[in-house]
Chains A and B, each alone.
Chain A
Amino acid sequence: MNCKTVFTIPVFGGIAVDEGVVVTWIIMMVLALLSILFVRNLKVENPGKVQLALESVIEWGENFFKDIIGEENKRYIPWLMTVALYLACANLIGLFGFKPPTKDLNITAGLAIMSMLLIEYSGIHKNGVKHWCGHFAKPVPLVAPIMILEIFIRPLSLCMRLFGNMLGGFVVMELVEQVVPLFVPIPLSFYFDIFDGLLQAYVFVFLTGLFMNEEME
């Protein structure tokens, strides 16, 4: 259940590389290779079947995120789609015998910190530093401490939600497989591995988009 160290980089007294990081590298490699493979030979005149399928998928994703953060903020859509893709792969990779990297608190914390920085950056970029400083005292100045705490609570809850769901699913699946190794884990695996994994990936990017939207008002 704990994250194992795969190998140690022998600099600065040894940097331990965890299992989750290695699995993340594998996902990055696969996604990068697939992107290079699919994006080769794109044509404007009579496109192929692969290009048409790819275009419809990307357009569906773009429309989906446009509904959340609005047409005028579409510069953040590629980031949200990338995170959604990574999280979907990371949560589903348990099916291929790897340990899902989102089961490691460090990785979800990293993702949540990136979300936090982007949420605050999007607010500053849209409305300026002055408005950003002013919005903490928006309804009444009394709520300012709570508003400042919210900066840190939002990524904390994003990170804990993802981590807890994945770890919970993993623990339940391990326990069930120890009690009944045959047939019974299959329907449970559909719920805990596939449905819950995709749902949590969706919820993570959905909430990030929602918070950004809130910040950019």
Chain B
Amino acid sequence: MTGTIIAIGAAVAVLTGVGAGVGIGIATGKAVDAVARQPEAEGKISKNLILGCALAEATAIYGFIIGLLIIFFLK
């Protein structure tokens, strides 16, 4: 029974991935828009895009780590 509850807890923690997915999607869409408007600035745009994606991804990573911690330490 506790195993099921722990699994549900880990699943809720991993829901943080939703935010990162939406954020990276919006950022990529805007970057594509920017490249279409100004193709010559592609280098700078993709550099900033990668940085922003890495920062946005951090929330998903925190959720993943919390999920792992729940599974490993709540037995």
| Interface positions of A (Cβ within 8 A of B) | 157, 160-161, 163-165, 167-168, 199-200, 202-203, 206
Cβ–Cβ contact B50 & A164, under 8 A: no
Contact with B62, one of A164, A200, A203 (Cβ below 8 angstroms) = A164
| Interface positions of B (Cβ within 8 A of A) | 50-51, 54, 57-58, 61-62, 64-65, 68
Interface CB pairs A-B, < 8 A, 29:
A157-B58, A160-B58, A160-B61, A160-B62, A160-B65, A161-B54, A161-B57, A161-B58, A161-B61, A163-B65, A164-B61, A164-B62, A164-B64, A164-B65, A165-B57, A165-B61, A167-B64, A167-B65, A167-B68, A168-B61, A168-B64, A199-B50, A199-B54, A200-B54, A202-B50, A203-B50, A203-B51, A203-B54, A206-B51
Question: Once bound together, how far apart are the Cα atoms of A203 and B51, in whole Å?
Answer: 7
B contact residues around A164 at 8 Å (CB) = 61-62, 64-65
Closest to B50 in A: A199
A contact residues around B68 at 8 Å (CB) = 167
A contact residues around B58 at 8 Å (CB) = 157, 160-161
A105–chain B nearest beta-carbon distance, Å: 9
B contact residues around A161 at 8 Å (CB) = 54, 57-58, 61
Interface of A, secondary structure class, is helix
B contact residues around A206 at 8 Å (CB) = 51
Question: Once bound together, how far apart are the Cα atoms of A151 and B70, in whole Å?
Answer: 27
Question: Once bound together, how far apart are the Cα atoms of A192 and B43, in whole Å?
Answer: 23
Question: Once bound together, how far apart are the Cα atoms of A163 and B68, in whole Å?
Answer: 12
Question: Once bound together, how far apart are the Cα atoms of A163 and B69, in whole Å?
Answer: 13
Question: Once bound together, how far apart are the Cα atoms of A141 and B65, in whole Å?
Answer: 34
Closest to B63 in A: A164
Question: Once bound together, how far apart are the Cα atoms of A161 and B61, in whole Å?
Answer: 6
A101–chain B nearest beta-carbon distance, Å: 18
B contact residues around A163 at 8 Å (CB) = 65
Leading 8 A-B pairs by shortest Cβ distance: A164-B61, A203-B54, A164-B65, A161-B58, A164-B64, A168-B64, A161-B61, A157-B58
Closest to A167 in B: B68
A134–chain B nearest beta-carbon distance, Å: 28
Q: Which of A199, A202, A203, A206 has the most CB of B within 10 A?
A: A203
B contact residues around A203 at 8 Å (CB) = 50-51, 54
B contact residues around A167 at 8 Å (CB) = 64-65, 68
Question: Once bound together, how far apart are the Cα atoms of A168 and B61, in whole Å?
Answer: 8
A contact residues around B61 at 8 Å (CB) = 160-161, 164-165, 168
A contact residues around B54 at 8 Å (CB) = 161, 199-200, 203
